[in-house]
Chain A
Amino acid sequence: MNPVATPAAPHAPHTSHLEPGEGQPGTVREHHDHHELGFFRKWIFSVDHKVIGLQFLFSGLVFLALGGMMAMAIRYQLAWPWRPMPGLAWMFPATGGAITPEFYTMLFTMHGTIMIFFVMIPLLTGAFGNFLIPLMIGAPDMAFPKLNMFGYWTMIPAFFFMILGFFVEGGHAAGGWTSYPPLSTIEAAAPGSLSGQTCWLMGLTWVGVSSMMGAVNYVTTIVKMRAPGLTMMRLPLSIWGLMITSLLQLFALPVLTAASIMQLLDRVLNTGFFTPTNLLVNNLTPDSFAYGSEAAAAGGQPLLWQHLFWFYSHPAVYILVLPAMGFTSDILAIHARKPIFGYKPMVYSMSAIAGLGFIVWGHHMFTSGMNPALGMTFMVSTVMIALPSAIKVFNWLGTLWGGRIHLRTPMLFACAFVSMFIIGGLSGIWMAATPVDIYIHDTYIVVAHFHYVVFAGSLFAIFAAIYHWFPKMFGRLMNETVGKIHFVGSFIFTNMTFYMMHQLGVAGLMRRTADPYAYDVYAHLQPINEFITISAFCMFAWQIFFVLNFFHSMFWGKRVGRNPWKAASLEWDAPSPPGHGNFDHQLEVYRGAYEFGSPEVEEDYIPQTRKI
């Protein structure tokens, strides 16, 4: 618990250690830990990256609960269509608690939107990006602390608009999280396209601005603020994952922001980017569209939105998984007490995923009416993106091979990530194959695929990361026994929930249908959906173990010192929790972050800062 360095160290200038041409990175800034801040300055208007990270973490977890409840309602409808939900009659007085079709379309639209833009991206890049980057590279804070604060504060209007949408006339957006026009742009097309869709677009734009600020900050910080001696090829893979993710956001996000502003203009200023001529929606000719006649001569292209949307949202899939891959790599190596297997191939394969990730968006559009020749090229690039993913899986297995594995909770969730990512990755190959996709496009096999990647994959990695870095966040360990109970139940019920969706998809079951059993081909699938729903309820309820453990451990968990896991990377050199300015001694880096089991020393690890 005591500072490692001598008292004189924090303020000693160390510029002499720097490489020529480098500025002040890595040096401890003076005056950072000298003044006491009030509650509001410390927890609300904070410029400290750790507090901002925690703000993202807490809001992300709150939205996770909200999105999870929506998923439960979706599952209820799929198991027992149109039956009143017990105890929810007060919410739907008109139907006695049953879900209406309008409400169902809104539910899955907002479930997807919230889980992607308000849970996964903010948790992975917002919470862990903010918390980990300065600590793991030995910097006192982000390169632009104020910009970082604005990054969270621009999320507030996003939260506002996304919540507001639920209370406007017609309800929230109901055009799917993909919001394909003209369904989403023409008010007569869907109740959610009245004002809900405008709220949705405003919220999305603000999230984009927030992520943009974050991404600029992360890249700058990683490039410019590394501790002396910490070369790029000595960075922990978490940092590489976050860095590549930020680059993806920098290049892809402007396109989504532009597209959502275009759709906003289509809706409020009657432009016609995405609205073709001669539509007849809801028996209304374009002249009688609620917002005037200009759209009649629009001449726009609905496919243009799909291209722009997926140009961002496919890289976004990798934004959802690359940081999780980084966390998993770190956690596997640390808890298996073994260097990461193939560090450089890991970095290159992450870069390859990011690079290829920009030229595969068309695989969402194989059946959209896009030129089929394009389908060919997108198929080849999509199939090839499985290659770097496979390399990563093999390297994770290589990391475990010959290790000394400690099966603590973070390690269990990290192993589960590998196991689940294999399933999610492999099922993607079916979807990449164009002729097979003609049949399975928009069926439940797609639902199984992305839930295995994003829920069972990335969310399990987030759980692993929370258990792993909790001691650094709060100076206390989470309870191991409760953590293991949480893991076992989550793992079993997650697989019971999502695995059989593969078979439902092969049977042809469509996603986004409120009552599929009206069709003869689907009528016999209702019992299996009941099984899935009950599993999903159990999985949702099981998270109570996580919630209790999280809050109990925050205040009453076992106190630990700087380095409870005996990890080698820099964040474990700081106090737990680190004060403002992070490090209480000067850092100098001599090696990579994965020196476990080295024969050079007696202990089984060498911290990055140790000189031998």
Chain B
Amino acid sequence: MRYLFTLLLFLVPALGVWTFVEADRWQLWFPQNVSSFGGEIDRLFNIIMYMVAFTFIVTEVCLAWFVFKYSAKNETKGAFTHGSHKLEMVWTAIPAVALLFIAFIQMRTWADIKFEGNFPKDGEYTREKPIAEVWASQFDWRIRYPGDDGVLGTVDDLERSWEFVVPVDTKIVFNLRTRDVIHSFFVPEFRLKQDALPGHTIPMWFEAKKEGIYDLICAELCGWGHYKMSGRVTVVSKEEFAKRMSEIKAEWFSNGKELGE
């Protein structure tokens, strides 16, 4: 029995590490990254993963080994010790340093993504001049572009449901809003997630480095239809973007005429 229990405890780190090593091959790993800061997030994830894996292997193997070694039939008494001050100092100080290291290397990236002071200032789109307002509501997404005057909230605003069209290789700044309950704007390929908060307008930014169509997912429970609150972000070339905008404009101001004729 002793062998069986040791084996079980030993399988935890063995299979645990194996599944992480193989995960990429089984397509159980990060989806492709297409945003400018996504690579940084993946890198931080990996740094933590290697540190965690080291601790995981050492502690789990020790556990399995101790259970095996010290459960042998033995009628003598065990070691009589109440602890060791020196060891306690060692295993307090080393993890403390490692943990502080983990905390401090995150800060730059977090500030770059979320702090308003670090939002793109000189590009086409800025905090004052966002590309669009993304509105969430049960259970769909609506994107409101400012129209020709470049100002949101005027009569020439354009609205497009479900699809958020943006140009590639451009720093996109937009506002996230919700009509009803809390939702969350999540695009796995951008490594970007932000809750939409009722009563608040939340600015966000990203830069997509690759053209394509990406799933836009609601990541905060918003009611019975939460699972189907899908949208998409379409990243197109800059020329294509201008073309798409005029199409959206034509459609928005058509008053449904094409449909009737």
Q: Give Cα distance in the complex from A503 to B220, angstroms.
A: 20
A499 touches B15 (CB 8 A): yes
- Whether, in the assembled complex, A248 has its beta carbon less than 8 Å from a beta carbon of chain B, the answer is no
A508 touches B179 (CB 8 A): no
B-binding segment of A416-424, A535-543, A564-572: A416-424
Q: Give Cα distance in the complex from A113 to B205, angstroms.
A: 36
B-binding segment of A52-60, A183-191, A220-228: A183-191
Instruction: Give the residue of B52, B79, B95, B191 whose beta carbon is less than 8 angstroms from that of A338.
Output: B79
Q: Give Cα distance in the complex from A106 to B122, angstroms.
A: 47
Residues from 386 to 421 in A contacting B, C-beta threshold 8 Å = 386-387, 390-391, 393-395, 397-398, 400-407, 412, 415-416, 418-419
A189 touches B48 (CB 8 A): no
Residues of A contacting B20 with CB < 8 Å? 502-503
Instruction: Give the residue of A512, A518, A596 whose beta carbon is less than 8 angstroms from that of B221.
Output: A512
With A183-B181, A435-B41, A520-B215 as known contacts, state yes or no: A507 contacts B27, CB within 8 Å.
yes
Q: Give Cα distance in the complex from A175 to B88, angstroms.
A: 44
- Whether, in the assembled complex, A15 has its beta carbon less than 8 Å from a beta carbon of chain B, the answer is no
A390 touches B91 (CB 8 A): yes
Main secondary structure of the interface of A (DSSP, over half): helix
B60 touches A277 (CB 8 A): no
Q: Give Cα distance in the complex from A423 to B16, angstroms.
A: 9
- Whether, in the assembled complex, B153 has its beta carbon less than 8 Å from a beta carbon of chain A, the answer is no
Q: Give Cα distance in the complex from A15 to B230, angstroms.
A: 72
B180 touches A279 (CB 8 A): yes
Instruction: Give the residue of A189, A276, A391, A397 whose beta carbon is less than 8 angstroms from that of B88.
Output: A391
Q: Give Cα distance in the complex from A510 to B51, angstroms.
A: 25
B67 touches A405 (CB 8 A): yes
Give the distance to chain A from B12, nearest Cβ to Cβ, in Å: 5
Residues of B contacting A507 with CB < 8 Å? 27-31
Q: Give Cα distance in the complex from A435 to B63, angstroms.
A: 32
A503 touches B228 (CB 8 A): no
B52 touches A426 (CB 8 A): yes
Residues from 338 to 388 in A contacting B, C-beta threshold 8 Å = 338-345, 367-369, 372-373, 375-376, 379-380, 383-384, 386-387
B56 touches A504 (CB 8 A): no
B92 touches A387 (CB 8 A): yes
- A-facing mask of B155-169, CB < 8 A → 1, else 0? 000000000000000
Residues of A contacting B102 with CB < 8 Å? 383, 429, 433
- Whether, in the assembled complex, A88 has its beta carbon less than 8 Å from a beta carbon of chain B, the answer is no
- Whether, in the assembled complex, A468 has its beta carbon less than 8 Å from a beta carbon of chain B, the answer is no
Q: Give Cα distance in the complex from A340 to B56, angstroms.
A: 22
B194 touches A367 (CB 8 A): yes
- Whether, in the assembled complex, B219 has its beta carbon less than 8 Å from a beta carbon of chain A, the answer is yes
What count of chain A residues pass the 8 Å CB interface test?
A: 116
A519 touches B215 (CB 8 A): yes
B56 touches A369 (CB 8 A): no
Instruction: Give the residue of A190, A336, A338, A435 whose beta carbon is less than 8 angstroms from that of B40.
Output: A435
Q: Closest chain A residue to B64 by CB distance?
A: A419
- Whether, in the assembled complex, B141 has its beta carbon less than 8 Å from a beta carbon of chain A, the answer is no
Residues of B contacting A372 with CB < 8 Å? 110-111, 114-115
B2 touches A407 (CB 8 A): yes
A503 touches B110 (CB 8 A): no
B-binding segment of A160-168, A195-203, A251-259, A597-605: A597-605
A415 touches B67 (CB 8 A): yes
Residues of B contacting A412 with CB < 8 Å? 5
B-binding segment of A5-13, A27-35, A488-496: A488-496
- A-facing mask of B170-212, CB < 8 A → 1, else 0? 0000000001111010101101111111111010000000000
Instruction: Give the residue of B28, B71, B84, B186 whose beta carbon is less than 8 angstroms from that of A504.
Output: B28
B114 touches A375 (CB 8 A): yes
Residues of A contacting B79 with CB < 8 Å? 338, 401-403, 597
B-binding segment of A437-445, A471-479, A554-562, A579-587: A437-445
Residues from 52 to 96 in B contacting A, C-beta threshold 8 Å = 52, 55-56, 59-60, 62-63, 66-67, 70-71, 74, 76-84, 87-88, 91-92, 95-96
B78 touches A402 (CB 8 A): yes
- Whether, in the assembled complex, B19 has its beta carbon less than 8 Å from a beta carbon of chain A, the answer is yes
> Apart from A339-B81, A430-B45, A519-B230, what are 8 other A-B pairs with CB-CB below 8 Å?
A186-B181, A368-B197, A379-B107, A391-B91, A441-B219, A512-B221, A518-B230, A521-B188
Q: Hey, which bits of chain A sit against chain B, CB under 8 A?
A: 100-102, 104-105, 174-176, 180, 182-183, 186, 189-191, 276-282, 301-303, 336-345, 367-369, 372-373, 375-376, 379-380, 383-384, 386-387, 390-391, 393-395, 397-398, 400-407, 412, 415-416, 418-419, 422-423, 426-427, 429-430, 432-436, 438-442, 484, 488, 491-492, 495, 499-500, 502-504, 506-508, 510, 512-516, 518-521, 524-525, 528, 594, 596-599, 604
In the assembled complex, 29 residue pairs joining A and B whose CB atoms fall closer than 8 Å, in A order, are A101-B227, A105-B224, A189-B138, A190-B223, A302-B199, A344-B83, A345-B92, A369-B197, A373-B115, A379-B103, A384-B103, A387-B96, A387-B99, A390-B55, A398-B87, A403-B79, A407-B1, A416-B9, A429-B52, A433-B45, A440-B45, A484-B1, A500-B19, A506-B45, A507-B27, A507-B28, A507-B31, A518-B227, A520-B215
* Pairs of residues from A and B, 10 with the lowest C-beta to C-beta distance, nearest first: A276-B199, A402-B79, A342-B83, A372-B114, A508-B188, A503-B28, A405-B71, A597-B77, A369-B197, A435-B109
